[in-house]
């Protein structure tokens, strides 16, 4: 393990760090000694500097990602919805959103590679935010379907690297046992975005044809402007690496880096070996992680892009449906925070993901089994669904960073894990069939239920797998001893 030399100039501070063995020898007794009081103080300062801005900008990310789902049905009673004004049918809509997901899948790994090798996080993430904000504004002026397709693909390319970039940034600052709850705080902002998005869309629906603009155009205009204003905040305020933090003294910088290095983490430009790359990309254990995230993100994508459609199918008009999406998202927000906190505190990510996924599966399968006109009961099922996919995403994402085969492949692992969400979102577009609206969308509900049960089984399998690896003392890809987190 390499460690940044904080006693040199800024250029040296971002150079490869010294080995973990050298680090351990430099400490009393041959190992790093934790100071709980000091650690608590520094973690609190890090949380204040990092988490609010990451959560806020990821909220904007999800607003700009999911607003097409709000615009799809907004003001359709008056012929002013996005689909009606661009002459799209539901299949064309699915293609447009699928292209967003395709770009999302293709650009995740390259984006993290750029951030690791060439551009510090605040600049790179700020650039991505600026790019997709401008494209979102462009949506306010769309007139035809080809323009929708092009803009959605480009927005997907810009947003692709954002969340894995944030996850990678968190590994620079926090040790493995503190990551789930931090990633959960950021991910929970996506559920908050669902709530805010519904509220904003409700308000924009009442502005329909004000100033000659349809409600969906106001929606893209307002959300795009909010995102653009936030670019400067991100670039100026987001910390990059502990070694660059002007609000830390040299002793605190070293302490943070040493604390992370004990179990694997921190910034490094060191190149990975072929063995380390292959284990990260293709080992059965890591493929199981990626698969669990893929199937988990199918119900997650369904909620992101189709919750207004699902709710409008419960007997609400298009404007009221926007507001009715809010309560399930609010519950999902608080449940996400609790699950991430508890998973870290008990070192039991696998069991937590399993339980949340089963809860979500019960919601989906019940919604699919109920009569189409059982509106109240089916709406209640959405609350269970919201407690499954989104809350599981935080522990699943953190789990990958905790047990990556080698610290030098952290960027690859986080990007590959999140890129599976692109595949999931493509699949999610085709399971909510417009011809099933009157029957309660059984295909969508049952597919999401199956995916939730599969996520639970894979999470349990990984939990047992890591227990065995710890029992036999399995080494990582670099041949070093590891304590595999559960």
DSSP readout, 19-68? PHHHHHHTSGGGS----HHHHHHHHHHHHHHHHHHHHHHHHHHHHHHHHH
Is 130 or 422 the better-scoring residue by pLDDT? 130
What mean pLDDT do residues 75-92 have? Answer: 84
Q: What does the pLDDT average to over 142-168?
A: 88
Rounded to 5 degrees, φ, ψ at 87 are 55, 40
Query: Using an 8 Å Cβ cutoff, are 244 and 238 in contact?
Result: no
Cα 398 from Cα 293, distance rounded (Å):
11
Q: Residue 243 has which token pair?
A: 């070694």
Using 50, 70 and 90 to split pLDDT, how confident is the model at 315?
low
Measured on CA atoms in the order 228, 229, 232, 233, is the torsion positive or negative? negative
CATH topology of domain 16-472: Growth Hormone; Chain: A; (1.20.1250)
The answer to whether 465 touches 371, Cβ cutoff 8 Å, is no
**Lowest-confidence pick of 26-40, 204-218, 433-447:** 26-40
For the segment 243-302, what is each residue's pLDDT rounded down to a tens digit? 888 899 999 988 888 888 776 555 555 677 888 888 888 899 999 999 999 999 999 888
Mean pLDDT, residues 461-474: 91
Give strand pairing partners of 210. Answer: 213
Q: Kindly report the pTM of this predicted structure.
A: 0.74
Residue 417 — very low, low, confident or very high, per pLDDT cuts 50/70/90? confident
For residues 55-91, one letter each, b for 16 or more C-beta atoms within 10 angstroms of the residue's C-beta and e for the rest, the string is bbbbbbbbbbbbbbbbbbbbbbeeebbbbbbbebebe
CA distance 239 to 63: 23
Spatial contact of 58 and 393, defined as CB atoms under 8 Å apart: no
Is the pLDDT higher at 91 or at 287?
A: 287
User: What's the mean pLDDT when you consider all of the chain?
Assistant: 82
Q: How large is the average pLDDT for residues 4-23?
A: 36
Structure tokens at 129: 């935010």
Beta bridge partners, 481, equal 475
Q: Of 17-21, 193-197, 283-287, 354-358, which gets the smallest average pLDDT?
A: 17-21
pLDDT at 7 over 80: no
């Amino acid at each position: 393990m390499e460690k940044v030399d904080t006693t040199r100039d800024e250029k040296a501070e971002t150079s490869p760090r010294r080995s973990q063995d050298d680090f351990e020898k430099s400490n009393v007794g041959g190992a790093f000694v934790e100071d709980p009081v000091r650690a608590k103080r520094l973690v609190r300062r890090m949380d204040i500097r990092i988490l609010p801005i990451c959560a806020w900008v990821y909220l904007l990310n999800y607003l700009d990602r999911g607003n097409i789902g709000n615009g799809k049905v907004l003001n359709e009673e008056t012929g002013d919805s996005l689909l009606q004004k661009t002459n799209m049918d539901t299949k064309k809509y699915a293609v447009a959103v699928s292209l967003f997901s395709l770009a999302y899948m293709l650009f995740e790994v390259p984006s993290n590679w750029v951030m690791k090798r060439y551009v510090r996080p605040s600049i790179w993430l700020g650039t991505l935010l600026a790019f997709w904000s401008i494209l979102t504004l462009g949506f306010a002026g769309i007139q035809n379907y080809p323009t929708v397709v092009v803009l959605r693909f480009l927005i997907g390319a810009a947003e692709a690297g954002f969340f894995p970039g944030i996850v990678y940034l968190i590994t620079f600052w926090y040790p493995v046992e503190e990551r789930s709850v931090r990633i959960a705080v950021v991910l929970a902002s996506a559920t908050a975005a669902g709530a805010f998005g519904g509220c904003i869309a409700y308000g924009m629906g009442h502005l329909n044809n004000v100033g000659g603009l349809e409600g969906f155009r106001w929606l893209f205009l307002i959300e795009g402007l909010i995102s653009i204003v936030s670019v400067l905040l991100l670039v100026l305020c987001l910390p990059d690496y502990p070694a660059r933090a002007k609000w830390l003294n040299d002793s605190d910088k070293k302490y943070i880096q040493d604390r992370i290095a004990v179990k694997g983490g921190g910034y490094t430009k060191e190149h990975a070996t072929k063995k380390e790359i292959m284990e990260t990309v293709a080992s059965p254990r890591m493929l199981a992680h990626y698969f669990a995230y893929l199937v988990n993100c199918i119900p997650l994508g369904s909620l992101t892009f189709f919750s207004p459609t699902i709710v409008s199918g419960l007997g609400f008009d298009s404007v009221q449906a926007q507001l009715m999406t809010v309560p399930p998202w609010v519950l999902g927000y608080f449940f996400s925070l609790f699950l991430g906190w508890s998973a870290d505190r008990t070192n039991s990510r696998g069991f937590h993901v399993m339980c949340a996924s089963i809860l979500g599966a019960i919601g989906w399968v019940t919604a699919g089994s109920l009569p189409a006109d059982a509106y109240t009961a089916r709406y209640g099922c959405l609350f269970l669904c919201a407690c499954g996919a989104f809350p599981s995403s935080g522990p699943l994402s953190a789990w990958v960073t905790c047990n990556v085969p080698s610290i030098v492949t952290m960027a690859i692992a986080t990007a590959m894990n999140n890129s599976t969400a692109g595949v999931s979102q493509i699949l999610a577009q085709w399971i909510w069939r417009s011809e099933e609206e009157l029957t309660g969308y059984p295909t969508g509900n049952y597919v999401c239920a199956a995916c939730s049960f599969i996520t639970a089984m894979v999470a349990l399998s990984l939990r047992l797998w890591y227990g065995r690896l710890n029992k036999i003392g399995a080494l990582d890809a670099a041949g070093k001893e590891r304590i595999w987190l559960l």
